């Protein structure tokens, strides 16, 4: 009889412990379900799941209002805010290289939007089938993205200040390049061009790097800038046009999507497209003739009478733009084939 008492006690203890563990599990699940439906307030909460390219930036305070005049828009990078976020932003580069993963183990609030962010061309996307059915919105340089985020744009001038073309032109053409790949079309065009004209080449590849302060003044000494994209895809028009050419005061010679694609963003007489010419010889002849005719050369800057360049380089401004579109009737959607959309 005495031997049964310890056994009964042990059984009672095990039963009690099992019930306690089960109770705690139920409580945890209930908390998770409750968390899934929580929202902070009427503000729009944007959670950046990881830093783009590992570059950190300040998010404290009311960044969107203080910097860009966008109200009720709060940016976060603390993952503890996941259950409260209206939109969670995932930058593709880190997902592709495996340094970051989607939080598939967390209970996702039913109204929460997941946004796939990439400003790179399809040549850098990789395989995206694993993300099918997970993302609601896209942010891209593509005009058909849910949130269109170009590298730059022309905006109406705020003043009537006369535009000034740099006078210190010393070179016919220049190019800044760090990622030189022999197989790229731009590399092949350059190799042919340099046999016809002298091209001033800067950047890491040429072992002539330029600091941020040196970049625009250096390019301003050139009549033309080779705004050659590293890949040719629809809408893929980068800072090579907006900053390196327009802001520097050099006429861009572009290589990228077709001319009509550029003309959706800038005036047709503000740039020269490589594909407009039957041969590189005829292109070079045109550049030489244009550089020698001041009136004709100045006509490529006439757009500056009414417009100025707006370059988008701050990730915070890109994130804040989400809030300007959040209340608009964006279609409730899910990208069931993100790979097909991103690579077309």
As annotated, the active-site residues are: 120
CB atoms within 10 A of CB 231: 16
Neighbours of 15 (CB within 10 A): 10
CA–chain centroid gap for 311, Å, is 12
Say which residues have a Cβ less than 8 Å from residue 200's Cβ, sequence separation at least 6. 171, 173, 174, 175, 222
What is the crossing angle of helices 280-291 and 185-193, to 10°? 60
**Tokens at residue 301, please?**
């800057």
A 10 A CB-CB count for 208 gives 12
Place of tokens 């039957």: 278
- Distance in angstroms (rounded) separating the CA atoms of residues 265 and 252: 14
Whether residue 154 contacts residue 310, with contact meaning beta carbons closer than 8 Å, is answered with yes
Strand partners, 154: 309
| Alpha helices in the chain, H assignment, sequence order | 4-35, 63-68, 92-96, 185-193, 212-219, 239-241, 259-262, 280-291, 294-298, 315-326, 338-342
CA gyration radius, the chain: 27
């Amino acid at each position: 009889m005495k031997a049964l008492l310890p056994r009964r006690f042990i059984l009672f203890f095990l039963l009690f412990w099992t019930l306690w563990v089960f109770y705690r599990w139920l409580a945890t699940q209930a908390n998770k379900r409750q968390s899934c439906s929580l929202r902070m307030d009427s503000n729009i909460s944007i959670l950046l799941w990881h830093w783009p390219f590992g570059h950190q930036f300040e998010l404290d305070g009311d960044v969107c209002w203080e910097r860009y005049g966008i109200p009720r828009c709060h940016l976060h990078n603390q993952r503890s805010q996941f259950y409260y976020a209206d939109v969670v932003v995932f930058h593709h580069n880190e997902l592709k290289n495996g340094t970051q993963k989607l939080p598939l183990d967390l209970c996702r609030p039913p109204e929460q939007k997941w946004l796939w962010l990439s400003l790179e061309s399809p040549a850098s996307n990789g395989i995206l089938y694993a993300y099918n059915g997970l993302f609601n919105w896209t942010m891209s340089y593509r005009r058909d993205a849910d949130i269109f985020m170009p590298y730059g744009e022309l905006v109406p001038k705020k003043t009537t200040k006369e535009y000034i073309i740099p006078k210190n032109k010393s070179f016919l053409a220049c190019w800044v390049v760090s990622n030189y790949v022999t197989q790229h079309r731009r590399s092949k065009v350059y190799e042919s061009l340099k046999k016809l004209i002298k091209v001033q080449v800067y950047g890491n590849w040429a072992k002539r790097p330029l600091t941020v302060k040196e970049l625009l003044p250096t390019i301003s000494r050139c009549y033309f800038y080779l705004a050659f994209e590293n890949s040719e895809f629809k809408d893929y028009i980068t800072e090579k046009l907006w900053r390196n050419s327009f802001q520097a005061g050099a006429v861009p010679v572009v290589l990228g999507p077709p001319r009509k694609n550029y003309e959706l963003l800038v005036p047709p007489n503000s740039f020269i497209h490589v594909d407009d010419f039957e041969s590189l010889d005829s292109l070079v002849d045109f550049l030489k003739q244009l550089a020698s005719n001041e009136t004709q050369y100045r006509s490529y800057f006439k757009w500056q009478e009414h417009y100025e360049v707006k370059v988008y380089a701050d990730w915070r401004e890109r994130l804040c733009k989400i809030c300007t579109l959040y209340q608009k009737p964006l279609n409730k959607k899910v990208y069931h084939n993100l790979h097909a959309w991103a690579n077309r």
